[in-house]
Structure 1
Amino acid sequence: MKQMEVTIMGQSYLLGCPEGGEAALGQAVSQVDKEMCAIRDGGRVKARERIAVLAALNLAYQLAEGSTLAAAVPAPVAKANDVLAASQTADLPDLAGLMQRLDEALGHDGHLL
């Protein structure tokens, strides 16, 4: 297995990569970086761990909707922000419970939102 050094949101990571998988890993890293930077630049979330959770949710949403990691789809970021805003107004109690469980799992890091 080959190792690749990548940068996500200005931080370097050394990742394992199968031979011939460099291009696919590069695309995945690029998409994760775009998602995380978009959330950070939105200004509502500052903690890197929280940004990573929201980016993971956005990417999972894209995959569930049938898009690929290579496709640049800004809509999930807006949808995630809308859902989070709605959960704060108690319109979505199930999401509020999920957010509470995530807060508990994060422990010392504080609340997710």
Structure 2
Amino acid sequence: MSEPQTVILHILDKEYRVSCPPEERSNLEQAARHLDQTMRDIRNSGKVIGVERIAVMAALNISHDMLTGGRQKDVELNSQQQQITDLVSRLDQALARHQA
């Protein structure tokens, strides 16, 4: 793994210096852009005042999206696995009839 580098991130009009490995820089910058946009959306809604509260609401929204997205992927994966199992069973039955 490479030596960490300092990356400058801009989130809600503030500058943050964060150390990360060079191979993770792109992911870190993408995460910072996502956080910045989420925080700006919350601030612009006018319903939440204060940077700290905006940050907490953004963290909750992002965490919720991540968790519910993960659950949806699990449901889709289970459905796909069931479809594969059904197809294998049908193929086995068709092969058994063909060999008889």
SS in 2 for 1:45: coil
- Which residue of the partner structure matches residue 71 of structure 1? none
The residue type equivalent to 1:65 in the other structure is T
- Which residue of the partner structure matches residue 54 of structure 1? 57
The reply on whether 1:4 has 2:7 as its aligned counterpart is yes
SS in 2 for 1:44: coil
- Which residue of the partner structure matches residue 14 of structure 1? 17
- Which residue of the partner structure matches residue 31 of structure 1? 34
Shift of 1:38: 0.4
- The TM-score with structure 1 as length reference comes to 0.57
User: Identity rate of aligned residues, in percent?
Assistant: 34
- The TM-score with structure 2 as length reference comes to 0.64
- Structure 1 or 2: more helix by fraction: 2
Moved over 6 A (4+): none
The residue type equivalent to 1:64 in the other structure is L
Alpha-carbon distance between aligned partners in 2 of 1:5 and 1:12, rounded to the nearest angstrom: 7
